[in-house]
Amino acid sequence: MVIGLYLRHIKAYEGINFIPIGYKLDFNFISYIGKNGIGKSSILEGFDSFFNEKIYNINKNATSPGERNKPFFVPIFLIKKSDCIFPAHCIKDIDKLNDFFWNIKSLSGSADIKGFKNIRDDLLKQGITKEEYYLLMIGEEFISNSSPKISFGTFTIAQEFLSKVLDNKNINITISISTEEIQEHKSELAKKYNKILQIIKDHYSYIYFPVELNIENFTKIETTEMQKVFGKKLKKEIESMLSGIKLDGTNGINPRLDNFIKEIQNSLRNNYEYKTGQQRNNKITKNDIVNKIIEAYFQKRILYKNNKKISELSAGEKRQALIDIISAFLIKTDRDSATIIAIDEPENSLHTSVCYEQFDRLNKVSKNCQVFITTHWYGFLPILNEGFGHFLTEKETKTKTEKETKTKKEILFDTYDLYDYKARVKNDIQKSKNEIPHDFNLKSINDLVQAIYYSLYCEKPYNWLLVEGVSEKIYFEYFFKDEVKNNLRILPLGGNTKVSEIYEHLELPLKKEDDKLRGKVFCLIDTDKIRHKEYIKDGNKHLKIRRLCNIGNDETRLYTLENSDTTQTDIEQSLNPIIFKETMEKLDKSNKYQINIQKNNGNTSFIDNLKSIDLKNYFEENEGSNKIKFAEKYVEISKEKENNEKFIPTWILEIKDFYKK
């Protein structure tokens, strides 16, 4: 998979830029979000040039001379060794690269490798190591009107890099190094790694769908792009069908055609002659036959939808058809190459109701290949549990000289793991003391409400469970695992205010009885000391909001917000006490938190049932990360229990019943 990118002087990007992609295995859905013209499409176009041998869009900053100003495009790859994409004779050189990139800590000079190091360190935290994976940063540099040449970005002329991969401890890179010496080192790199770069390129099948796309031409079977979508090479398929055809030798097509031409020319008494007029072999090749079959059989065929030509569809329908075709083929797993689908604005020309299904299809495609998108529509974010959202903003800095004031544009990336994006954004806004604009809060409520609302009307509708934080999501993905398989989405929003806000936005449109309404939304919050929006009513059969509440050491109950009881209760106080005690004993190695259960079939109130007032402190330690660790361990222990259904709290069963009715 491609997990990062360094580029210089490509379209919207001035100077050297690190572009984040995604560094978690199976987190294949990568989105770039920002205003028009900020540089989202530049990334997708650049990869199209890299993988598909197209001309790069170089900006004016590349005109300055010098080795340290050449434009480059250098992706960072994470390749599983067991995929065996490299031949044996390349392994020695590959291992040198791999060792260097896994172990590098810093570079001399001013080269900034912070982005690369962050990726590498995050991989190590996940337990991904050089023993199982190749970590390679390799690409190409170029100047106008010349073929691209191999490049390793900022590493290319770094002393540490060259001495390692070229096995030359005497290399000395200084600021005064001559152009000739640099070229000599680059030539050595090219000899060693050109073939390796091509192997990597060939391993990937990159399909790019820009906004301005002629869908009719693009969807023809014989196009390179559609063959990549099908996962088959059309020419190879046809060639295999022609294996029994004899072109040369006795009774072959070519000798018999030659004899036919000779007979004609003999009849003309050699005064006239049929010839091509070119100095070439006039024999028919298998490739000639293949091309004619494609021309005669495929080029006449165009795509129809319900007996309507693709060219006659509306712009939105064309876009929808494109995603339909992609998802139909790419959801399959049996493919020869690693596929990357890149789409500019999948929502272009579509109504919001269709957008939801469009992104949901792409989400399913991402289970089998990487999907890169650019978008202005934020409604897809709650659909996805696995992926990254990169939000692009622009920063301008001005430098004054005696002659002029120069303005430099810098493109900044704020990256969010979509697993818990709402809670993360809220936390970042608080930490920045509101310096991060609230508008950055993923266009906040509007797109989210639209996404949820329209999903309730789908033919196969979504159900929703809206909760406060990530720890609830961890518990509920276990408790509601069967419902999740049947389109339940569990969404942590980062606090009770966010949950109730979504509820209020949905309350009015879902108030009326509607036969077309198929999905349901359940909102769940904690009970705090101060009552929260007690004016909110009970809800209806499609929309409810409840809060967790303990009375003594009995089972936890689900109360409406208008209920007057304000016994403070959160998710950790609403679990099974037996599993809770085992979990704490596993995590608390120092025996600091001793638990004495009063009632085995009660709740986990820290005072009334567990008799440990200090437990609240445990969940507040380490900036709240103990809540996550505890939730993960609780689920792990629950799964190991025989007849584990009996440990599920009754209030969970009440919520399950809501979705069944």
Residues 321 and 220 occupy one common structural domain: yes
In a 13 Å sphere around the CA of 458, the CA atoms on its Cβ side amount to: 22
Distance CA 210, CA 52 (A): 14
Read off the tokens for 226. Answer: 């559609």
pLDDT at 217 over 60: yes
Distance CA 168, CA 87 (A): 24
> Which pLDDT score, from 0 to 100, does residue 135 have?
96
Read off the tokens for 603. Answer: 């709740």
Asked, for residue 138, whether it belongs to a domain, the answer is yes
The number of distinct structural domains making up the chain is 3
What secondary structure does DSSP assign to 380-391, as a single string? Answer: TGGG-SSEEEEE
Mean pLDDT for 500-509 is 92
- pLDDT single digits (tens) 524-576: 999 998 889 999 988 899 999 999 999 888 889 999 999 999 899 999 999 99
pLDDT at 209 over 70: yes
- pLDDT single digits (tens) 471-492: 999 999 999 999 999 989 998 8
For residue 275, with 0-12 CB atoms within 10 Å meaning exposed, 13-18 middle and 19 or more buried, which class applies?
A: exposed
- pLDDT single digits (tens) 177-188: 677 777 888 888
Distance CA 421, CA 443 (A): 12
What secondary structure does DSSP assign to 190-229, as a single string? Answer: HHHHHHHHHHHHHHEEEEEE-SS--HHHHT-TTSHHHHHH
Residue 447: pLDDT band with limits 50, 70, 90: confident
Residue 143: pLDDT band with limits 50, 70, 90: low
pLDDT at 176 over 70: no
In a 13 Å sphere around the CA of 94, the CA atoms on its Cβ side amount to: 23
* Inter-residue contact 638 to 478 (CB < 8 Å): yes
Asked, for residue 64, whether it belongs to a domain, the answer is yes
Residue type at 355? Answer: C
Residues 408 and 438 occupy one common structural domain: no
Distance CA 165, CA 23 (A): 25
Instruction: Tell me which of 15-19, 105-109, 329-333, 537-541 is least confident.
Output: 105-109
> Which pLDDT score, from 0 to 100, does residue 97 have?
92
Residues 581 and 542 occupy one common structural domain: yes
Asked, for residue 32, whether it belongs to a domain, the answer is yes
Chain mean pLDDT for the chain: 85
Residues 315 and 442 occupy one common structural domain: no
> Which pLDDT score, from 0 to 100, does residue 276 have?
66
pLDDT at 76 over 70: yes
Residues 523 and 580 occupy one common structural domain: yes
pLDDT at 658 over 80: yes
> Which pLDDT score, from 0 to 100, does residue 291 have?
79
Neighbours of 219 (CB within 10 A): 19
> Which pLDDT score, from 0 to 100, does residue 100 have?
92
Question: Residue 549: which of 559, 539, 538, 534 has the closest Cα?
Answer: 559
Question: Residue 316: which of 290, 341, 275, 346 has the closest Cα?
Answer: 346
Residues 53 and 153 occupy one common structural domain: yes
Read off the tokens for 572. Answer: 């950790």
Mean pLDDT for 27-36 is 91
Residues 405 and 431 occupy one common structural domain: no
Above pLDDT 90, what percent of the chain?
37
What secondary structure does DSSP assign to 155-184, as a single string? Answer: GTT-HHHHHHHTT-TT----TT--HHHHHH
Asked, for residue 650, whether it belongs to a domain, the answer is yes
Distance CA 310, CA 298 (A): 16
- pLDDT single digits (tens) 110-134: 557 889 999 999 999 999 999 999 9
Asked, for residue 349, whether it belongs to a domain, the answer is no
Residues 468 and 405 occupy one common structural domain: no
Instruction: Tell me which of 14-28, 436-450, 455-469 is least confident.
Output: 436-450
Residues 51 and 200 occupy one common structural domain: yes
- Per-residue burial over 175-185, b if 16 or more Cβ lie within 10 Å, else e, is eeeeeebbeeb
> Which pLDDT score, from 0 to 100, does residue 203 have?
92
> Which pLDDT score, from 0 to 100, does residue 107 have?
67
> Which pLDDT score, from 0 to 100, does residue 353 have?
67
Distances, alpha carbon 452 to alpha carbons 21, 201, 492, in Å: 27, 40, 14
> Which pLDDT score, from 0 to 100, does residue 262 have?
85
Above pLDDT 70, what percent of the chain?
90
Read off the tokens for 437. Answer: 């604009």
Asked, for residue 653, whether it belongs to a domain, the answer is yes
Which residues, 6+ apart, have CB-to-CB distance to 312 below 8 Å?
A: none
Question: Residue 394: which of 64, 13, 9, 10 has the closest Cα?
Answer: 13
Mean pLDDT for 410-436 is 73
> Which pLDDT score, from 0 to 100, does residue 414 have?
87
pLDDT at 274 over 80: no
Residue 95: pLDDT band with limits 50, 70, 90: very high
Mean pLDDT for 168-193 is 75
* Inter-residue contact 571 to 644 (CB < 8 Å): no
Residue 483 belongs to what H/E stretch? helix 481-485
Could you give phi then psi for residue 332, rounded to 5 degrees? Answer: -70, 150
- Between 629 and 421, the more confident residue is 629
Asked, for residue 146, whether it belongs to a domain, the answer is yes
- Between 73 and 34, the more confident residue is 73
Instruction: Tell me which of 121-135, 219-233, 646-660 is least confident.
Output: 219-233
pLDDT at 434 over 60: no
Domain containing residue 605? 419-660
Residues 199 and 227 occupy one common structural domain: no
Residues 469 and 498 occupy one common structural domain: yes
User: What is the chain's length?
Assistant: 661
> Which pLDDT score, from 0 to 100, does residue 633 have?
96
Distance CA 417, CA 631 (A): 19
- Distance between the two ends of the chain, CA-based, in angstroms? 43
Neighbours of 420 (CB within 10 A): 21
End-of-domain residue from the set 384, 399, 415: 415
Residues 466 and 536 occupy one common structural domain: yes
Instruction: Tell me which of 85-89, 273-277, 444-448 is least confident.
Output: 273-277
Asked, for residue 542, whether it belongs to a domain, the answer is yes
Using left for φ > 0, alpha for ψ between -120 and 50, and beta otherwise, residue 448 falls in alpha
Highest mean pLDDT among 14-18, 62-66, 144-148: 14-18
Distance CA 259, CA 262 (A): 5
Distance CA 556, CA 604 (A): 9
Distance CA 74, CA 612 (A): 56
Instruction: Tell me which of 96-100, 169-173, 228-232, 654-658 is least confident.
Output: 169-173
pLDDT at 332 over 80: no
Question: Residue 216: which of 295, 297, 301 has the closest Cα?
Answer: 301
Mean pLDDT for 371-396 is 85
